[in-house]
Structures are given as C-alpha cells and as structure tokens.
Amino acid sequence: MPQTITQKILAAHAGKKEVQPGELIQAKVDMVLGNDVTTPPAIKEFNKIGATKVFNKNKIALVPDHFTPNKDIKSAEQVKMMREFAKKYGIVNFFEIGCMGIEHALLPELELVKCGDLIIGADSHTCTYGALGAFSTGVGSTDMAAAMATGEVWLKVPEQIKFVYSGKIPKWVEGKDLILYTIGLIGVDGALYKTMEFTGDALKQLSMDARFTMANMAIEAGAKNGIFVPDAKTTKSRGAKVYKSDPDAIYNNVYTIDVSKIEPQIAFPHLPSNTKPVSKAKNVKIDQVVIGSCTNGRIEDMRIAAKVLKGHKADKNVRLIIIPATQKVYRQAMKEGLFDIFLNANAAVSTPTCGPCLGGHMGVLAEGEKAVATTNRNFIGRMGHPKSEVYLSNVAVAAASAVLGRIGHPEEL
C-alpha cells in the first residue's frame, strides 16, 4: 500500500513493511532528548521503574536551556540532577553552559539528528527535526524515562495532511510567515495528532534555517509531527537514510498555498492562529522585542536582524533583546560584526537560553506590557504577566518594530 514519508520512517523503526493511520506501534528510537524542565521528572520515573542502565549512552541528549544560566535555586537544583544523572550513566551528550545551546538548534548543528531518524524529546517543539526528513515528536517525561531505559517508544500512527506551497516568496517574507499563515488557515487544532507534510516548489527557495522554523511550529497547529521531504539542501549525516512519500500516498487533506500572495504575518494575542498581515497591524505600540528562540535564533536570523537594524537604534521606549541560539551561532555572529550592529542599536545580546520565550527570565513582561517576539507561542501569560501581550512575527518585522516603537514593516525604515 502507498506510504508517506512519515509512515515509511515509522514502519522501518517498528520492524514493519508498512503502517496505517491509527495503528499502535512499538518503535525503536535514534535519539531521546530532555531539557532542564522535563528531564528531572523523567529521572524520577527512571529511578521509580528500577532501571539500572540507559539503553545507549550516545543516543540520549540532555540540554539545560530553559532557565540557563540558572536563574534561581530551584533551576540550579534541576540542572544538578541532570548533571549527576549524566555522570552516573555515562551519557555523552550533556551540554552545560559554555557548550550548550537551545536544544532544537543545537542537536541539528551537532548532527546528532539526521534524515530518516526517529527522535522523541520531552519538549513539544521536538518536531523541529522534521526539517531534516526525520520523524520527530514531543513526548511526556514518563515516555522519556521509558525510552532512556528501553530505547523504544509506543506511538499511534498519525493521519496525514499535505501542504503544497507554490509561487515566488516575496521580499521580507520568511519561513516564519509561511507557517504562521498556515496555522492561521487551519487553526491551532487543524492538524491535531496528524502529520503536516510540507512540499511544493516554493519550499526549494527556503534555507535549512527557515525549514527548521516551519517544522518547529507544526505543534502550534496540534500536529504530531511536521516533516519535509529531503532535497539537495537537506543536511545529511553519515548513515542517514532518505525516505520520500509515494506519489499515490493517501492524505486526509491537501492544502495548496500560493506564497506570492503572502505578506509578513503577525500572530495577535493570544493564539499563534490569530494571524493578520503586518499591513493591518501597524498601530500597536510595544515595550519589548525578543529576537531568538528555537524558532528563530539561527545565524540566518541574526543576519536578517542585523540587515534591518544597521544604522538604526531601538526606540527609546523599547527593550531589544537578541539571543543567538547556540555558541556556534554566537561566535559566527560576533565574527561577522553583527554584535556591533546590535549594540549600536542599543540591543542586549544574551548567551544562548530559552529565557523569555516561556516567561522564565532574561525578558519577562510586566502587567500591560506588549512584546513582539520571534518565538513560537503567545498564550496568555506566556512571556510573563497574564495581562501582558505577545505578538509573534518574523525576524525582519521584529527588528523593524524595535526601531519604530510599534509593529511595523522593514520598508518603513
């Protein structure tokens, strides 16, 4: 029977010739990921089941990134637990301050995930690695614990949705805009426990950085996973296996989107699906701009921000925070002189951290404050006070908004 790329990957890891939507499978995993919020509960469950060893010390990655550097005693204790667990079981991929990064940017950068892999992570945005042509999805801490012990995960095969993007991508439109537009089109539950398969000639125009952004936000439409069929741009590691969907594979829905008609998108509070074109969002005054996160903290994002900010300063009423996603991105941005541009624009540049994205630290909002962010969620209280507001945008719009003191378009500078 015809199979999609997702079905083929799941079948291969379950030792089957094929799998069907709704089928329950036990699959072998290639990588298990946890962070400083989700790993401590997983460690407790690991200990509770009486496990005495991990299934593979090379196939577990522990990345303390949410409250790093530790913001308080509790977060310090969380990371201490991870550190001691990694040491006890010889886990190779434990990344501390100085070599860490935001998990979903770090793992692809280090080639710890690759085409054809099955990856689970105790973080909802683990779906990021679908940009590589891998099946990757978020799980709970209990599933993480079981996978660390057994190397396997229990899954229900998702139904399939295809998105076909055509046309030429306009100037200042980024991968972030394509996914925000798509989420606005189908809603935050439009792909609930389904695969979002991204295809079409327009996607060939996107860099890997932009594809990571799109796959990252599949969960914001409720998807089990987002995935790109690998092409010449896809990062391929030794041993990677490339899968492609059969031409006659079956999909629940197929959406066709002409990207040439899309302008930069703004997701208004308090849902990623509450999208409007930036041309209809120019009267919103803001207090803060955050450029970074696992969605938009890669080197391409830093370069776009610098291109917009060069020769400008942030509005005196706006706090501009820029967070490179990894140490490598940080070093490259510094080498290219991007930090000089950021500092001249009166921005604060941070070591890699999730920080403000989840209202953790490094940019928490007070009551009534409004922020433009290149992050992935704008739920009530996401970045701080329940009565603050977060507007999601691409990097160019975020940078321009910092200068304008309100939501705006780069062409206005």
Residue 68, pLDDT score: 85
**Identity of the residue numbered 404:** L
pLDDT band at 286 (very low <50, low <70, confident <90, very high): very high
Residue 39, pLDDT score: 96
Indicate if the pLDDT at residue 282 is higher than 90.
Answer: no
Residue 237, pLDDT score: 62
157-234+245-262: what CATH class?
A: alpha beta
Indicate if the pLDDT at residue 100 is higher than 70.
Answer: yes
How many degrees, rounded to 5, is the angle at CA 52 between CA 50 and CA 54? 115
pTM: 0.94
Strands 159-166 and 253-258: parallel
Q: What is the mean pLDDT of residues 159-173?
A: 97
Is 3.30.499.10 the CATH classification of the domain at 24-155?
Answer: yes
Q: Tell the CATH superfamily of the 266-408 domain.
A: Aconitase, domain 3 (3.30.499.10)
pLDDT > 90 in the chain, percent: 91
Contact between 391 and 397 (Cβ < 8 Å): no
> What residue segments make up the domains of the chain, in order of their start?
24-155, 157-234+245-262, 266-408
* C-beta neighbour count of 48 within 10 angstroms: 10
pLDDT band at 233 (very low <50, low <70, confident <90, very high): confident
Average of per-residue pLDDT values in the chain: 95
Residue 99, pLDDT score: 86
Residue 354, pLDDT score: 87
- Say whether 266-408 and 157-234+245-262 share the same fold: yes
Q: What is the mean pLDDT of residues 265-286?
A: 94
Q: Report how far apart, in Å, the C-alpha atoms of 154 and of each of 148, 196, 204 are.
A: 13, 20, 34
Name the more confident of 1 and 299: 299
Q: What is the mean pLDDT of residues 285-301?
A: 97
Q: What is the mean pLDDT of residues 23-45?
A: 97
pLDDT digits (tens, 9 = 90+) for 337-384: 999 999 999 999 999 998 888 888 889 999 999 999 999 999 989 989
Residue 239, pLDDT score: 67
